[in-house]
Structure 1
Amino acid sequence: MLISMWKKLALVGLTATALVATAAEKPNVVIVATGGTIAGAGASTANSAVYQSAKVKVDQLIVAVPELTNVANVRGEQIFAIGSESFTNDRLLELGKRISALSKQADVDGIVITHGTDTLEETAYFLNLTVHTDKPIVVVGSMRPSTAMSADGVLNLYDAVVVAGSPDAKGKGVLVTMNDQIDSGRDITKAVNIKTSAFSSQWGPLGMVVEGKNYWFRAPVKRHTTQSEFDIDKINQLAPVEIVYAYGNVPPTLYEAAAAGGAKAIIHAGVGNGGMGKWLVPTLQNIRQQGVQIIRAARVPNGIVIRNADQPDDKYDWVVAHDLNPQKARILASIALTQTNSSQELQRIFWEY
């Protein structure tokens, strides 16, 4: 009987040792929660578009996806509980500094950020520009709350943890996993507001996640993370940058108000190739002479703004946003203007990032 008991104890010990060994072999992934639809709840399972965001805490999100323990050692942090429309510059800075600190920890292999979809692309690009690490950082959200039929958040979160824990995701910048795709945080944008296929990039996804396995097809070539000249640990305030959306009868007063309000740069979300009505040109020339940067972007979802094609940018000392949409151009300008107010330097930055 004594021998039998020792055999049982030995088996328990071996099992415990095996569990410890298995845990040690898994990557360590931290999920930093900010709120959004992925943490939302509707009144019924039929509510997929009407619901309250940021109702479910990070620990509940993790428990709701038990399969996460198969792919990583996961722990959570709740930094905010907000809808992403409430992301201010100050919150971007707070989040960026926390992500930077986590990335420096030896016991962290990857980081997932749960986020509302409305401004997810802006946060992803901000982190892509400012956090100096080659560890995978993955931003993830969902288009339907967890209480809805066919909720997409569970699989999106699982995919995000898979990517964040994968060595093959290192050095690719900040990533976004939505709807089975792996996209660059620089390129991705929200193009639809009620479908699970809401996010897309005109340059295509970097890869896909299928049943817990990554498949890669391309890599980002623009400067990011460890190659970036911007460092979140040294940035404590962002420059004020405003966007003015152009249309057929847009008045100059909107641009004048932005300049009077203290903007260091104005993103002109222009028609076509960042174009504008002739009546706007004198006002924007005058604003530029006051020291405010004028950056021509486009309101169309795809394409690039070509320098000197619609307006004589060299003559007016204006900058073009290249392929960045207005909201991402604002992010880059607000960071770049903390280091330079040279239009030539700003244009270089827009080419390189």
Structure 2
Amino acid sequence: MAHPHIRLLATGGTIAGNAGSAIERGYRPGQIGADELLAAAGSLKLAATFEGREIAAIGSQDIGWAQWNALHAEIVSAMADDAVDGIIVTHGTDTAEETAFLLDLTLQAGKPVVLVGAMRPADAVGSDGMRNLANAARVAGDPVAAARGVLVVMSDQVFAAIDVRKAATGGAEAFRGFPRGPVASVTPTSLDWFGPPDRIGREARFAWPGALPKVPILTAYAGMEADAVGCALAGGAQGIVLAGLGQGNAAGPVIEALAQAGVPVVRSTRVDQGSVDRNLEVDDDRRGFVAARGLGPAKARILLQVLIASGIDRPETMQREFDRR
């Protein structure tokens, strides 16, 4: 049986980073190109064949519309190529959850799409990059992975894009999933799914937008004043996500300013995990807010941007999209 053929799309990040020393804390992301990554992977003798393409060579803190637009186009092209069985995207860990979720919302369930990164640069002692890449190849080469949406592989675990988040600033096991944990465990020689696929034959949830609207995240804090809302609107905000206290709350004047903002408002939470439900502490029905439910602020922003770009602006319609899994 022929090995699966995987197209690797490189965007930079720590997995492609060098520190110049095995024990140096600082490093430069995006120093290793796609060909060099694949040459290193070739020494592992993985049960797959590869080709690589360079999308960007940046730290993921700098990723934005230009890179997302190019990346989406390359993935669509790879899905249409009969010679390609799966797609791997190497990516920095800081915004991997946002890229994965944006792609998950806008790609059909055609071929496996797997994001992978590393918490330690390539030349660091104990670097996790090559093992994560080998694990990603195992997942991207499994046809069953195609019916599970976009996936993120880190530290011998597989996460669904809608669940995954970076939960620690350091350490190889920095990623978690909420409300589900990992959907599979993986090693370079094994892959164990924890449940059946749920995306069989599913088309893309949204069309790829021509652009993404400006949507800032306002983080609530004790003593926060309402002028933060005015500043966001003055800066051209077309929607606002509140990273609120507890159940997505904020000081009364802030809540009232958001209710009068004239743009869609989604209440999420600055708490590490948990659901923000409608009308629990805030009267969403009266104020026209949307509750983020299980999405944290970063992914709530992505979904709100896609909804606005798709012409969806009624709170009740937006809420149905935030309620979906």
- Normalization by structure 2: what TM-score? 0.95
8 A Cα contact 1:189 1:200, kept in partner: yes
Give the AA of the match of 1:29: I
| Counterpart check, 1:195 vs 2:171 | yes
Shift of the alpha carbon at 1:225?
Answer: 9.0
How far off its partner does 1:64 sit?
1.0
Contact 1:54–1:82 (Cα < 8 Å) also in 2: yes
Q: Secondary structure at the match of 1:51?
A: coil
The 5 Å alignment of 1:89-128 reads: 89-128=65-104
Measure how far apart 1:73 and its partner are.
Answer: 1.2
Identity of aligned residues (%): 37
Aligned equivalents of 2:5, 2:267: Cα separation in 1: 42
Q: Distance in 2 between matches of 1:53 and 1:225?
A: 37
Query: Residue in 1 aligned with 2:162?
Result: 186
CA–CA distance in structure 2, aligned partners of residues 308 and 68 of structure 1: 53
Residues 104 and 161, structure 2, Cα contact 8 Å, conserved in 1: yes
* Post-superposition offset of 1:211: 3.9
**1:206 counterpart letter in structure 2:** V
1:342 to 311, 314, 322: 314
- Of 77, 93, 114, the residue aligned with 1:138 is 114
- Please give the root-mean-square deviation of Cα atoms over the aligned residues, in Å: 1.6
Contact 1:62-1:68 at 8 Å conserved across structures: no
Which amino acid in 1 is paired with 2:126? Answer: S
Cα contact 1:40–1:51 (8 A) shared by 2: yes
Between the aligned partners of 2:151 and 2:320, the Cα distance in structure 1 is 24
Q: Distance in 2 between matches of 1:95 and 1:72?
A: 22
SS state at 1:259 partner: helix
| Distance (Å, rounded) in 1 between the aligned partners of 2:14 and 2:55 | 16
Whether contact under 8 Å (1:30, 1:111) holds in the other structure is: yes
Conserved? CA contact 1:41–1:145, under 8 Å: yes
Give the drift of 1:319.
0.5
Task: Give me the whole-angstrom Cα distance separating, in 2, the residues matched to 1:162 and 1:269.
Answer: 36
Q: Report the number of matched residues.
A: 323
Instruction: Give the partner amino acid of 2:271.
Output: V
Other structure's SS at 1:44 match: coil
Q: For 2:36 and 2:320, how far apart are their aligned partners in 1?
A: 45
1:1-353 matches, cutoff 5 A: 25-47=2-24, 49-67=25-43, 69-202=45-178, 203-218=180-195, 226-232=202-208, 235-287=209-261, 290=262, 292-339=263-310, 340-353=312-325
Instruction: List runs of 5+ in structure 1 lacking aligned partners.
Output: 1-21
Give, in angstroms, the shift of residue 220 of structure 1. 7.0
SS in 2 for 1:65: helix
Counterpart amino acid of residue 243 in structure 1: I
Q: Is the 8 A contact 1:252 1:280 kept in 2?
A: yes
CA distance in structure 2 between the partners assigned to 1:333 and 1:58 by the alignment = 32
Partner Cα separation in structure 1 for residue 210 and residue 45 of structure 2: 36
Q: Structure 2 vs 1, CA of residues 348 and 275 (structure 1 numbering), >3 Å: closer, same or farther?
A: same
SS at match of 1:176: strand
Q: Is the 8 A contact 1:319 1:343 kept in 2?
A: yes
Moved more, 258-267 or 187-196: 258-267
Q: State the one-letter code of the partner of 1:264.
A: Q
Give the Cα–Cα distance (whole angstroms) in 1 for the partners of residues 61 and 196 of structure 2.
29
